[in-house]
Structure 1
Amino acid sequence: MPEGDTVITALTRTVEHIEAHLGDELDVGAVARTHGTTEYHLRRMFSSLAGMPLSEYVRRRRMTAAAGDVVGGEDLLTIAVRYGYGSTEAFARAFRAVHGIAPSVARRDGGPLRTQPRLRFRLTVEGSIPMDTRIVERPAFRLIGRAARVPLMHRGVNPAIQAHIAALPATEHARLKGLSDTDPAGLLQVSADVDPDYTEGSKLTYLHGVARAEGSTVPADLDVVDVPAGTWAVFRTSGAYPQSLQSTWAATATDWFPANPWRLRPGPSIVAVLDRADDFSSATCELWLPVDQEPQP
């Protein structure tokens, strides 16, 4: 099996496992280990490529399969237990969340019902746009600055982050920049404590700050994220901001990880803004993602 196909194979096998065990609790960690990857990487790649969290896909597939049983008139408790629910109430809530109607209405009227097709992952090799990437080994360092809890947004400007940065006085930006003493250099946009499923609207810690070498002194009034030693994939991007950066971020999942023997590991993601227009309509950035190497098959 080609190295770059590892993540696609793992995702395909995960979907197969779900289909064979729709009524069972999904042990994502065990499935990931079986296919030579990690639960963190599997969840992040699934969410990025499928456009939904793994848990949501499992729920939709269960309710798609259950809809036929409901319409067929089988006892609701029997159906609920078959698909992993301990009561008809819990099953009815999940059914309504997917189909928009109660099981009793579906049984009476035959619908309307929403179908979640089974996903199929394929690696399409195009290669028309090379990605400007380098692999960097970094010793442990610290990220320091001003942090806030904000919702995750996949597209467009995040108003919560925008408000957090705008609330900082100009003197604070200059102060932070002066504290930078290691790579990534300059003022940084840091996302930490991100939901492994990368669910839009879930909370993450956003830190506006800089990198400091391990052991460097840190002012007591600043927030700190300690980063262990490890490997980073660094993607350089230029163009309209934030669209170009967000497109590059998405392309790491659709193009780069499936074609390279690396996987995401837990840790903060970092954006270093190297250059920008005065109105921030365009920028040159570096996206730093923590990675480790996929084991050899």
Structure 2
Amino acid sequence: MNYRNDIEKCIEYIEANIQEPFSVKEIADKAGYSVFHFSRVFRRIMGMSIMEYVRKRRLSLAAQELLQAEKIIDVAYNHGFDTASGFSKAFRKEYGYSPLQYIKRMKPFYQQGISDMKGIYTKEPQIVSKPAFKVAGYGIKTNIIGNSYTSDIGAFWDNFNGENLEAKLYEILNPIRHGEIGVCMLTSEWADIIYVLGVIVENFSKATDDMMLIEIPEAEYAVFETLPVNTVHDLEQREFAQVIKNTWKYIFEEWFPDSGYCYDEDKYDFEYYDERCHFRPDTVMEIYIPVKKV
């Protein structure tokens, strides 16, 4: 399934209607996806949420108009801002200076590009069938459409590590094997989700009231192992996090188009972290993508 082509068609639609009001649902409908699935695919490929992309495009187009001697108030209205002050605030946040300062500097407008991932990921995934299993763990509520999604997940990981919730999970649940599952659960049609980091359990009898419980159905998966990274001296594991992000991007942008598979929206994808991802010279993790033949 060619997700990249679908995203490009949606971007064409956005560009053609960039000065018109529209919703994420309207764009998702154009692609034939649910809001939740489209939002995830868009973020994985483009590196940002749909509305963040729209905001950046409107501001970059506004920047061009500013350099063409257009009035600030007119530019603001042309690109969906109700007031000049609201536009100026958004512009300063994006570029680091006000529209007036921008005009005075006469520098080319900034447009965030998408890094070229071709050739970076070379491993072929394993296609495996996995029976249903149960996960218990701790989670956070967020929204995949909003701009806070990435920071919410990052803050959750910081809290998970800072409060040593991993040790708490193993102490309370005593799972059969070591390994954490990171999974997103859709809770509404508007892409509200719960991100859960937990362990596989035989049943939920030991789970406490503050834990979240998920039953993962039987599914066929494409399993991607990330390229090894040396994290021995990288306490924040920034390079490892970037490799994971790059792998997700590769999956939806490069692997799916020629794979003969499509994403199975009735199942869960998840990340799997075990003893191989703890400050090793060959740190790796696995991404499980539910698939079905096209």
Regarding TM over 0.5, the answer is yes
Match of 1:27 in 2: 23
Match of 1:165 in 2: 164
Q: Is the 8 A contact 2:130 2:221 kept in 1?
A: no
Cα displacement string for residues 206-257 of structure 1 (whole angstroms, at most 9, x for unaligned residues): 52322445xx534335502324636452415274467397254443234323
Query: How far apart, in 2, do the equivalents of 1:270 and 1:127 lie?
Result: 20
Query: How far apart, in 2, do the equivalents of 1:42 and 1:12 lie?
Result: 12
Q: Give the letter for the 1:114 counterpart.
A: F
1:51–1:163 Cα change, 3 Å? same
Q: Give the letter for the 1:116 counterpart.
A: Q
Query: How far apart, in 2, do the equivalents of 1:175 and 1:135 lie?
Result: 30
| Matched residue SS, 2:164 | helix
1:114 is the counterpart of 2:115: no
1:49 is the counterpart of 2:45: yes
Q: Give the letter for the 2:54 counterpart.
A: V
Match of 2:180 in 1: 188
**Aligned counterparts, 1:258-273, within 5 A:** 258-260=257-259, 261-263=261-263, 265=265, 267=268, 269-273=270-274
Match of 2:223 in 1: 235
Query: How far apart, in 1, do the equivalents of 2:11 and 2:140 lie?
Result: 36
Q: Give the letter for the 2:153 counterpart.
A: L
Query: How far apart, in 2, do the equivalents of 1:159 and 1:118 lie?
Result: 28
Per mean C-alpha deviation after superposition, the further-off stretch among 86-95 and 48-57 is 48-57
1:134–1:186 Cα change, 3 Å? farther
1:136 is the counterpart of 2:153: no
Query: How far apart, in 1, do the equivalents of 2:167 and 2:140 lie?
Result: 12
Per mean C-alpha deviation after superposition, the further-off stretch among 80-89 and 33-42 is 33-42
Sequence identity percentage: 16
Query: How far apart, in 2, do the equivalents of 1:7 and 1:278 lie?
Result: 33
Cα displacement string for residues 67-116 of structure 1 (whole angstroms, at most 9, x for unaligned residues): 23333443433322221111112111222223322223334x25334232
Query: How far apart, in 1, do the equivalents of 2:73 and 2:277 lie?
Result: 61
Q: Give the letter for the 2:135 counterpart.
A: L
Q: Give the letter for the 1:96 counterpart.
A: R
| Matched residue SS, 1:144 | strand
Give me the CA root mean square deviation. Answer: 4.1
Query: How far apart, in 1, do the equivalents of 2:140 and 2:11 lie?
Result: 36
TM-score normalised by L of structure 1: 0.68
TM-score normalised by L of structure 2: 0.68
Query: How far apart, in 1, do the equivalents of 2:67 and 2:277 lie?
Result: 59
Query: How far apart, in 2, do the equivalents of 1:38 and 1:259 lie?
Result: 22
Match of 1:208 in 2: 198
Match of 1:257 in 2: 256
1:176 is the counterpart of 2:176: no
1:186–1:110 Cα change, 3 Å? closer
Cα displacement string for residues 137-191 of structure 1 (whole angstroms, at most 9, x for unaligned residues): 654x5421345688435xxxx654433437736xx5255234x5xxxx6432324
Match of 1:199 in 2: none
Structure number with bigger Rg: 1
For residue 207 of structure 2, the aligned residue among 209, 219, 227 is: 219
Query: How far apart, in 2, do the equivalents of 1:24 and 1:230 lie?
Result: 43
**Aligned counterparts, 1:278-289, within 5 A:** 280-282=280-282, 285-289=285-289
Cα displacement string for residues 259-293 of structure 1 (whole angstroms, at most 9, x for unaligned residues): 333237485623152x549865545644334x465
Residue 27 of structure 1: how far off its partner (Å):
2.7
| Matched residue SS, 2:107 | coil
Q: Give the letter for the 2:73 counterpart.
A: L
1:146–1:92 Cα change, 3 Å? closer
